[in-house]
Every structure is written in C-alpha cells, then in structure tokens.
C-alpha cells in the first residue's frame, strides 16, 4: 500500500510536534517526497541552532538535496505543516520543487506570533523604501565577476 498525501502531511505535522516538544524551535515540520517516498525531513531548529534560516522547510530541502546528491528537487513535493514564509517559499522555488502542500495557513501562524505579513510587504517594496537600509556599492567590480561567469566553460547552469 502506498502512502497518501494525508500520510505525508501527518508525518510533517508529527515532526512539527516533535521539534516543538523537544525545544528545537517553533511548531513547524516538513518532508520532501520523491517517487512516493520520504527522502528527507526537517523541523524548525531556529532557536536551538541559533540559525534564523533553520526553518523546517529549509532543513528538509537541504537534507533532500544532500541525500539525492543534487541541487534541485525536480519531481519532488514538499509537505509542510504550515504555509511557507517568504524565505521558505523562495527556497522551494530555487529547489525547483514540483509542488508544495501545506496544512496551517499564514493567518494561523500569525495568530500564534509568527506573522510574516510584514515580510511579504517588504519584498514587494522598492529597495530605497524598505525598512532594512540597503545601498549598492562597487557594482562595476562585481559585474566583472558576472562577466567572467558567462565565459566560464565549466559552469554548472541552474
């Protein structure tokens, strides 16, 4: 008998509980599934590792790529106990996942103190108007490296 979407989501939810109860971080869990099998799992480890990027989805994506020996997850689905934040959403796109399936939504996360609405707004705000000051410096020098990349015969496209 093969596992169903519900089975994979229950796995992600169980991971969210395990991570939360162990004190690893917030109540979030995720699994990456390829060809009907879990290839990697993760739960939030932000506070236990002092790593603000150690969200469940990012942990699962990193582990899946390591397990598969490749930097893309084409053909795979991410099951996550909560709708991805902007960082995790971007990581899902960069990983080239085929799909993301989630349980709790943005409003559910906001209701318990994980409100990412401001971050979604910031991403859409012009650079000069963002709350985090940003300035461009040495663009011409950095563009030289980009130009060298385009000429690099052994570059790996992604």
| 74 contact partners, CB below 8 Å, separation of at least 6 | 96, 97, 98
Rounded to 10 degrees, the C-alpha dihedral 74/75/79/83 comes to 50
CA distances from 9 to 29, 60, 122 (A): 9, 14, 30
Report the chain's terminal Cα–Cα distance, integer Å: 36
- Which residue do the tokens 């993301």 mark? 100
| Cα distances (Å, whole numbers) of residue 36 to 47, 70, 119, 120, 155 | 32, 18, 33, 32, 32
Report the catalytic residues: 57
């Amino acid at each position: 008998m093969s596992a169903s979407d519900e089975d994979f989501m229950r796995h992600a939810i169980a991971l969210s509980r395990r991570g939360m109860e162990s004190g690893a971080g917030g109540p979030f869990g995720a699994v990456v599934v390829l060809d009907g099998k879990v290839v990697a799992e993760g739960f939030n480890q932000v506070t236990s590792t002092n790593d603000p990027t150690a969200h469940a989805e990012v942990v699962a994506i990193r582990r899946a790529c390591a397990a598969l020996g490749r930097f893309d997850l084409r053909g795979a689905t991410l099951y996550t106990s909560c709708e991805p934040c902007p960082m995790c959403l971007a990581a899902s796109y960069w990983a080239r996942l085929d799909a993301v399936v989630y349980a709790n939504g943005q409003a559910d996360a906001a209701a318990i103190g994980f409100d990412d609405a401001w971050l979604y707004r910031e991403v859409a705000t012009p650079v000069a108007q963002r709350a985090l000051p940003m300035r461009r410096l040495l663009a011409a020098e950095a563009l030289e490296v980009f130009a060298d990349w385009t000429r690099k015969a052994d570059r790996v496209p992604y």
